[in-house]
Amino acid sequence: MSIEVGSIVDGKVTGITNFGAFVELESGETGLVHISEVANTYVKDISNFLKEDDDVKVKVINIDDDGKIGLSIKQLEDPGDRIDHAPEMSFEEKMDRFLKQSSERQQDLKNREAKKGGNSK
């Protein structure tokens, strides 16, 4: 079975490192899913997403001249599924939110100072 860039194949996780996971493909070849290609969210610890012997479906994203195979799990997912993807806010909405938070923090500091019996301005 020939592996081509863009193909989607099944594989099994054979190793976990701090920079990614090695996956043995159906063809017997091994490729790497870089930590940045694991999920549509920030991945600090890959072991929160993958374990050895997990069966995974991956997309072949590149094959180097020396035969190294780059894989992705993330590219199989819908980009709109990002967990940390915040809705776009206008500048005015961001400024209103900032001013509200700032005012709340100032009031909180004043309240703490008053409870301590210190001098508040």
Specify the pLDDT at position 120.
47
The third-level CATH classification (topology) of the domain covering 7-76 is OB fold (Dihydrolipoamide Acetyltransferase, E2P) (2.40.50)
Q: Which residues of the chain have pLDDT under 70?
A: 1, 78-87, 118-121
Domain boundaries, the chain: 7-76
> Per the structure block, which two tokens stand in for 105?
């923090």
Cβ-contact 16, 72 below 8 angstroms: no
- Which of 86, 81, 31, 83 minimizes the C-alpha distance to 61? 31
Specify the pLDDT at position 69.
94
- Which of 79, 80, 66, 61 minimizes the C-alpha distance to 8? 61
Cβ-contact 89, 53 below 8 angstroms: no
- Which of 34, 110, 99, 111 minimizes the C-alpha distance to 73? 34
What predicted TM-score, i.e. pTM, was given to this entire model? 0.63
- Tell me how far the alpha carbon of residue 51 is from its chain's centroid: 16
